[in-house]
Amino acid sequence: MLYQLLFSFADQFSAFNVFHYITVRTFIAFFTAFLLCWMWGPYFIQRLRDNQIGQAIREDGPQTHKKKAGTPTMGGGLILLSTLIPVLLWVDMLNPLVWAVLIVTWGFGAIGYIDDWMKVSKKNTKGLPGRIRLVGEFLISAGVVFVLVRWFGLSTKVHFPFFKNLNLDLGYLYIAFASLVIVGTANAVNLTDGLDGLAIVPVIISASTLGLFAYVSGHYAISSYLQIPHVIGAGELTPVAASIVAGSLGFLWYNAFPAQVFMGDVGSLSLGGFLGTMAVLTNNEILMLILGGVFVIEAVSVIMQVASFKLTGKRVFKMAPIHHHYELKGLTENKIIVRFWIISILLAILSLATLKLR
């Protein structure tokens, strides 16, 4: 909490008053996270190579992916480490919402780490059994949401985008709903992480958008003007989101096609958990279906494929998730990636439009 130390000297040095402003700390946290991730990247990747922590490729996957076997994975750890330091330096660590985001992000990251390590050590793509992984994710999510609802006044109302006064108070049932949002988002991001840079850019776009929502919902005057729910303390999530965005940008430097490193489950689950938690804390649970539309499409494609095969014995897609379907139809990896990025940007703009269309 370096900023609090600097701000304590504001009486002697008036220039230190700037550290009181969330916007200033957001920019500082952003550049701190990016520089850390960018500078540590080569060393981190080399350590992964030295320890033979390489990606295992699905046997039934596209044949073009065979050449990616052995590419260093678990690069999500680089994002987590490079974002934690600026958060500790430039964010109010007494804010319960900040702790909620960190617990879910790092908790899901720990589950992803175990999953990745099992895949690497056994040289296969099985990893941690799905049921155990989901139980762990739901326990972390439900525990965090319960504490916030019970002791810190987290709203149990679900708000619907495009409608000013349409909301539904779920009471304590909200804990289960919010947990489903967080876990669903995390696993949808995990399913999207299948091509070089495919998942990380939509994560950057979604985190940026949710960071803006956190700022406006935490600012009483702005939230009143826009007629959105005011969330006390939500503004402090803005520099946290900026750190995630910057750390992800630093990671993209090495993850862009052709990737030097993959984020692994430690990255996709933690980042997805972060997005889901931000959506919950800023009252944008339903909006996440729009903002995270790319992740939703990927997850739905898997559900449709599995359901269709079990019920009819036929497949809806050539392969799921849907980005593999387009690969097998002949689209190049780069074209698929960039088009998914474009869709993500369009959905983010649509989500931002809901701030006025109420």
Pairwise pLDDT comparison (330 vs 174), residue with the higher score: 174
Cα separations in angstroms, 257 against 88, 147, 152: 32, 42, 44
Quote the pTM value: 0.95
Which burial class, exposed, middle or buried, applies to 224 when counting CB atoms under 10 A from its CB (0-12, 13-18, 19+)? Answer: exposed
Q: CB of 173 within 8 A of CB of 179? A: no
Residue 52: CB atoms within 10 A of its CB come to: 10
Q: What confidence tier does 2 reach under pLDDT thresholds 50, 70, 90?
A: low
User: For residue 345, what are its two tokens?
Assistant: 């940007």
Tell me the C-alpha distance between 35 and 214, whole Å. Answer: 24
Tell me the C-alpha distance between 243 and 98, whole Å. Answer: 12
Give the type of residue at 335. K
Q: At what angle do helices 237-255 and 96-122 cross, to 10 degrees?
A: 20
Q: Which residues contact 121 (CB under 8 A, 6 or more apart)?
A: none
Q: CB of 319 within 8 A of CB of 177? A: no
Domain definitions of the chain by residue range:
2-284
Segment 178-206 shows an average pLDDT of 96
Is the pLDDT at 35 greater than 60, yes or no? yes
What value, to the nearest 5°, has the Cα angle with vertex 256 and ends 253 and 261? 80
Tell me the C-alpha distance between 321 and 319, whole Å. Answer: 6
Q: What confidence tier does 53 reach under pLDDT thresholds 50, 70, 90?
A: confident
